[in-house]
A and B are shown apart, each in its own frame.
Chain A
Amino acid sequence: GENVEQHPSTLSVQEGDSAVIKCTYSDSASNYFPWYKQELGKGPQLIIDIRSNVGEKKDQRIAVTLNKTAKHFSLHITETQPEDSAVYFCAAGLYDKVIFGPGTSLSVIP
């Protein structure tokens, strides 16, 4: 069945450094790729998304890249801050279904 893999599972960076999280998906028909941030005790919050007709999207310190041929996409966070510490989930979707990755726990060390 459809599968989304996500790496690394945990990531620690110094404040101000960049963080990169990578995901691969199995269903080549997927056309929607959101990224969610989940803080402790809260539901996931959409931080950025990209659709398959776009290769890259940027929103301030956050950027996402998509390689449809290789079926992988990545989240880049620049100038990390302590408030970026959370669990990040990638997902791949088509029509009415989205499959989430297992998550990456990001810690930003002040």
Chain B
Amino acid sequence: ETGVTQSPTHLIKTRGQQVTLRCSSQSGHNTVSWYQQALGQGPQFIFQYYREEENGRGNFPPRFSGLQFPNYSSELNVNALELDDSALYLCASSLGAQGPTDTQYFGPGTRLTVL
């Protein structure tokens, strides 16, 4: 196991609602990255946080936001949910500041369904 946990495992929301997903990184890992994985596709990079500051972002709108806390936990918040937001959301922790180009340890993901 990677030592990265995510909650909840599954979540069902309706269009227009807001959702918060949570991740607990490996102790000592200063970077957390979030990914969206649609069914049958590879993960897509949303953003990453290094020591509680966002320091990299993919092609996702501002309604996707995040927080990272000093205790190695983090959140992904999505506002105004759309049907296309239905996906598996993955967080990954890494030791250094580069995030995706460091060795990343993924959590099991949260399956979000938007109706």
A-side residues, CB < 8 A to B, are 4, 31-32, 34, 36, 41-46, 49, 89, 91, 93-103
Contact = CB atoms under 8 A, between A and B. Distances in A.
Interface residues of chain A: helix, strand, loop or mixed (majority): strand
Interface string B19-50: 00000000000000000000011111100100
Q: Which 6 A-B pairs have the closest CB atoms?
A: A100-B42, A43-B106, A98-B100, A96-B56, A32-B101, A93-B101
A37 to B, nearest CB: 11
A43 to B, nearest CB: 3
B52 to A, nearest CB: 16
Given A42-B108, A43-B107, A94 B40 contact: no
Contact of B99 (A36, A41, A96, A103): A96
B109 interface: yes
Interface of B: 2, 4, 40-45, 48, 55-56, 58, 90, 92, 98-101, 103-109
28 contacts: A4-B42, A31-B101, A32-B101, A36-B106, A42-B108, A43-B4, A43-B92, A43-B106, A44-B43, A44-B106, A46-B103, A89-B42, A89-B43, A93-B100, A94-B101, A95-B98, A96-B99, A96-B100, A97-B45, A97-B56, A97-B58, A97-B100, A98-B45, A99-B45, A100-B43, A101-B42, A102-B40, A102-B42
